[in-house]
Amino acid sequence: MRKPLKIFVMLLLMLSCAHGSCLAAEIILVVNHDNTLAGITARAAELIFLSKKTEWTQGEHIHVVVNNDPEAYAAFCREILRKTPLQYLLYRKKMLFNGSGIPPLVMDTDEEVKNFIAATRDAIGFISKDSLDPRVKQLVIL
């Protein structure tokens, strides 16, 4: 009688977190500490990483960093962009082919990402939640 109840409660919790608003899962967006923003909408994040939104509120050019770490990448695609990793890859290739805009920088690990973001004021990237450390600031999904 208690076991099914626990499972049931957990399921409920999981369901309630089905919307991206609870990004409890694995990925967090991170920016430089000098960045005044505390949080952005999911839609804004999507646009940034699709190179459709290219400037911060004051007009500074957004430096986008793509984390090539497979898990982070996959999770990011799934949760923020709502595309498959392959789709996002193709998208980026297409952007490159078309020569439009400035393609995101590609880094292979969370560490590289954090290093870059810490050094670049207008950068934005994504890392796994566990990797968060004081060098970078988390950008909350609103």
Contact at 8 Å (CB) between 38 and 140?
Answer: yes
Residue from 43, 52, 61, 94 that binds another protein (CB under 8 A)? Answer: 94
Question: What's the CA gap between 71 and 77, in Å, rounded?
Answer: 10
Q: Where are the beta strands (DSSP E) in the chain?
A: 27-31, 39-40, 63-67, 105-107, 123-128, 137-141
Shortest separation between residue 117's beta carbon and another protein, angstroms: 18
The region of 17-25, 39-47, 48-56, 97-105 touching another protein under the rule CB under 8 A is 97-105
Please tell me whether residue 123 adopts helix, strand or coil conformation.
strand
Q: Does 103 help bind another protein (rule: CB under 8 A)?
A: yes
The region of 11-19, 28-36, 93-101, 125-133 touching another protein under the rule CB under 8 A is 93-101
CA 81 to centroid of chain Cα atoms? 8
Q: Does 52 help bind another protein (rule: CB under 8 A)?
A: no
Tell me how far apart the terminal alpha carbons of the chain are, to the nearest angstrom: 38
Which phi-psi region, left, alpha or beta, contains residue 59 (left: φ > 0; alpha: ψ -120 to 50)?
Answer: left
The region of 11-19, 28-36, 91-99, 116-124 touching another protein under the rule CB under 8 A is 91-99
Q: How many C-beta neighbours within 10 Å does residue 127 have?
A: 28
The region of 37-45, 48-56, 89-97, 132-140 touching another protein under the rule CB under 8 A is 89-97
Q: Does 93 help bind another protein (rule: CB under 8 A)?
A: yes
Q: Does 85 help bind another protein (rule: CB under 8 A)?
A: no
Positions touching another protein (CB under 8 A) are 90, 92-94, 96-100, 103, 106
